[in-house]
Amino acid sequence: MADFDVDYNFMMTNEDAAQAHALVPDAPGQWVTGADGARAWQGAWAISGINSAAFPAQFAAIVAIPQTGRGPAIEAFYEAQFWNTYEGQLQDPIAERVLDTAVNRGATSGVKVLQRAVNACGGTLIVDGRWGPLTVAAANACNQTALLAALRAARLADYQAVVAANPALALYLGTAEAPGPWWIRSQR
């Protein structure tokens, strides 16, 4: 069954590959140039993918920790906010991608992507975004190689739909030339 540490490390390859735990600009926000020509970030900040606007209390607690000591708090944040017993019942690398999708899109979207992938492999799940024993059993009953391929395709389709609805988010898809730490980097 899935191992949180393995799945966390996979997800961190997208959120903070170097695990530097540095403070970086994040969406929503923009760079603005002042009258003096100096550029400043106005908007949300992130540390290892934890967005200051989405998780203000948790972000404040983590930013208060010296950068070199943030690792355990960041891992605890992701385990508390995104990991659950159902993900732990999946097999890796399926659980890795479900966790990664949940971090990027929210837990409900992560489960919907998994449910769509299971259905692409012949399953008959209702795509409701809720965890339960039927979703876990159906995912584990699938051929894992086929499910991984279907999960990759379902994730890409989900991210492309997000960008179609909000083209300003296109930068998160990255490109073949500059994949960056974006949503589909973990398509491997």
Q: Which domain CATH number covers 12?
A: 1.20.141.10
pTM for the model stands at: 0.86
Range of the domain at 24: 4-187
Q: Which tokens hold the place of 11?
A: 């997800």
Least confident of 82-86, 89-93, 149-153: 82-86
Q: What is the mean pLDDT of the chain?
A: 89
In the predicted structure, residue 170 carries a pLDDT above the cut 80 = no
Residues 156, 150: Cα–Cα separation, whole Å: 10
Helix (H, G, I), strand (E, B) or coil at 179: coil
**What are the CA-CA distances from residue 122 to residues 5, 85, 158 (Å)?**
30, 24, 19
- Could you tell me which residues come within 8 angstroms of residue 57 by beta carbon, excluding any fewer than 6 positions away? none
In the predicted structure, residue 68 carries a pLDDT above the cut 90 = yes
State the average pLDDT over residues 147-172.
87
pLDDT given at position 15: 84
State the average pLDDT over residues 102-107.
89
Long-range contact list for 152-156, CB < 8 A, 24+ apart?
152/97, 152/187, 153/117, 153/120, 154/113, 154/114, 154/116, 154/117, 154/120, 155/97, 155/101, 155/113, 155/183, 155/184, 155/187, 156/184, 156/187
Q: What is the tally of structural domains in the chain?
A: 1
